Structure 1
Amino acid sequence: MFLYTENFDEQKEKAMEGLRKALEEDKVDHDIIPLLEKINALQNYFTTSSCSGRISVMEMPHFGDKVNSVWLGKWHREVRLEEVLEAVGKHRSGQLWFLVRSPILHVGARTLEDAVRLLNLAIGLGFKYSNIKSVSHKKLVVEIRSTERMDVPLGENGELWVDEAYIEKIVNLANAQVRRFKGKLKRLEEEIEKLQED
């Protein structure tokens, strides 16, 4: 037996403790909670982290510097142009980016067979970038990820490179991506119980 299988129940309990704390502190995206509950109710799976996908406006010293970046606006839903313009208006220094990130879930699996079953389900539902993220003695983790993503530079050091009409166009594109990935999450929520052991 692989060590991650032997350690599964202990790791699941630790993860559930962390999730309970995150829920109490309101650190879990609300619209993904029903899916997390369904996954965690399955005997052979547990969630370790999740994000239901988001649109954001971010100020960063240079692209890729997440540590020193500042969110000027962040939404786990469709967004209105006015909200984005308000966030853009806060920009003062560094690079200004408009970003879309698809949902991401990390799910511990009891066995490699369980991991592959989840992976196949996720890919079949459109989460094409899903993969087995890690295999260690502690746990076996499946990453569920979709393809929706936008990285749009808007300006730098207080100067906007684009006009409002352009921002409106990218907001519309972003909202279409959000609708798409929220639909995938809903389908995953509906289908996940297929992984329950008979």
Structure 2
Amino acid sequence: MGFLYAENFEEQKERAMKGLRKALAEDKVDHDIIPLLEKINALDNYFTTSSCSGRVSVMEMPHFGDKVNSRWLGKWHREVAVGEVLEAIGKHSEGQLWFLVRSPILHVAARTMEDAVKLLNLAIGLGFKYSNIKSISHKKLLVKIRSTERMDVPLGENGELWGDGYYIERIVGIANAQVRRFKGKLKRLEENIEALDK
């Protein structure tokens, strides 16, 4: 079996960097993940294709899982105040109301399978336990870096709220603890990513 590597890696990286520069110019990149993206993209054997630094959100959806017809009522890539969540909840009118936490996710292309495995091992060792090699082909070797933090809390339906202010306060507290945890993992990844060049 031959040594697996991504074809046209340099061309792919240049295209990805052009897209990233455009997204940065349009303020479409989560600010606190930019230093990590810069460090990854400075490495010879890697480049990022998409990223999210993790988020807390309030979402209205016809039924759970229907992302196409869902509506963000509030979305934050940071710790959130109870008042902000209550304000978002106040916009709810129909369908199901959900409070959601999603961990950070990064897609990183690697030059060779060896590079992909090195990145995967680093990510898992730093607590990104749901990371994997998402795509394996001569066209692209893609590593998905993802952590375990997640919440899916139903809050109400068709304008009716199922919990009181105290309940909202408690789930926001749990969510913020998760945010602190995954932001810490992102910082550790940023601090350790350059080890891949050694």
TM-score (norm 1): 0.97
Identity score, percent: 84
SS of the residue 1:195 aligns to: helix
Q: Which runs of 5+ in 1 are unaligned?
A: none
* Corresponding residue number in structure 2 for 1:10: 11
* Corresponding residue number in structure 2 for 1:135: 136
Matched-pair contact (CA < 8 Å) for 1:2–1:137: no
Letter in 2 for 1:161: W
Alignment length, in residue pairs? 197
* Corresponding residue number in structure 2 for 1:151: 152
Alignment of 1:163-174 (within 5 A): 163-174=164-175
For each residue in 1:102-160, what CA deviation from the matched residue of structure 2 results, as whole angstroms up to 9, or x when unmatched? Answer: 00000000000000000000000000000001123321100000000000000011111
State whether structure 2 residue 33 is matched by structure 1 residue 32: yes
Matched-pair contact (CA < 8 Å) for 2:5–2:113: no
Q: Which runs of 5+ in 2 are unaligned?
A: none
SS of the residue 2:50 aligns to: strand
For each residue in 1:73-95, what CA deviation from the matched residue of structure 2 results, as whole angstroms up to 9, or x when unmatched? Answer: 00000000000000000000110
* Corresponding residue number in structure 2 for 1:83: 84
Letter in 2 for 1:73: G
Letter in 2 for 1:74: K
Matched-pair contact (CA < 8 Å) for 1:61–1:68: yes
* Corresponding residue number in structure 1 for 2:119: 118
Matched-pair contact (CA < 8 Å) for 1:40–1:46: yes
Paired with 1:22 and 1:2, the residues of 2 have a C-alpha distance of 34
CA gap of 1:3–1:20, structure 2 versus 1, over 3 A, is farther
TM-score (norm 2): 0.97
